[in-house]
Amino acid sequence: MYVAPLVSIIGTGGTISSSWSNEGFKPDIAIDKLVNLVPDLSRVADIKVREIMRKDSSNMSPGDWQTIAKEILKDLKNPRVEGIVVTHGTDTMAYTASAVAIMIRNINKPVVFTGSQVPIGEIGTDAKRNLLDAVRVASQENIAESIIVFDSRILRGVRTIKLREYDLNAFETVDPMPIGEIARRIYILDTSVRNRDSNVKPYWDGELVPKVALIRVFPGIRPSLLTSLPDHGFEGLVIEGYGAGNVPIHKEDLTTAVKTLYDQGIPIVMTTQCVFGRTEPLLYQTGKKAFEAGAISGHDMISEVSVIKLMWALAKTPDRDIEKIRTLMYTNLAGEINPGITDETSLHFSNLAR
């Protein structure tokens, strides 16, 4: 006798659940009503729903990531659940999908984030298709990662950014290709995707220290902007450098600020503000000096992921040993670092700061 797969849908708010008010669009549609607006879902899977919050994702915080991740973990441990779908706002969806990938070890089935650019009750909405596609992937595909399903594509959470505000294809992967594409059939393009495994036991590894700042280098930036961060309670910093991780080293020399923070036990992770690329500390003098001052290479991690991972690494190192933090940042947890970057290269980066 055929038993339809069970998919758990967790509602957190976002545009997909929004309707118009005197204040603009805001999430006010309950998740059960949202699901009822997509009757084709019942043709794909049995659905169970629960709403844990109803937020515009601009209001999401690290504490909310942990709340969402703990609810997901319950379903990951439930053998009856084939997959999980989280409805979420697009503005910080990539943050939350990445945070889940960092905070939960041994994900053993699909964890699918989706939402919409246009509210479900509006003309031209993409909500129904995205939700249906998400449930199809969650119930059918041999994937065991935190992913984003949006505009007919399957994207790895830790390698995805929101690149477009109005277009329906809001998200882009920094990998050469998406994990998969969705049409009449679902096509998996990335053969390295992690597969389901019922023998794998997921567990919580998600304590965070959310006192991490993200600063983008700009012409005229002052070192005091960086060195003042501990006065505001920050315990870690991610710097989006130019190009390969470069910073000013003449007037308004940022490397002195990096060294000052390093000496205070504040870890600094250097990433690139380029959408596609990676930090290469040996390429330019303006990058090398920052790493000699103590910066940690973000490799090709997206800046948003570097922030989350540094929060996680700080929780692992109450002694604030920066070399331990460096090792944790260089550990590839969920595909956030391109596997082509070798341990030997990481060691070379580490030696620069000694």
Residues acting as catalytic residues? 15, 90-91, 162
Burial state string for 137-173 with b = 16 or more CB within 10 A and e = fewer than 16: bbbbbebbbbbbbbbbbbbbbbbbbbeeeeebebbbb
Burial state string for 81-106 with b = 16 or more CB within 10 A and e = fewer than 16: bbbbbbbbbbbbbbbbbbbbbbbbbe
Q: Which of 301, 294, 303 is nearest to 265 (CA)?
A: 294
How many of the other CB atoms lie within 10 Å of CB of 199? 6
Q: How far is CA 322 from CA 118, 238, 329, 334, 354, in A?
A: 44, 14, 10, 22, 11
Cβ-in-10-Å burial (0-12, 13-18, 19+) of 24 comes to exposed
Cα distance between residue 126 and residue 134, in whole Å: 12
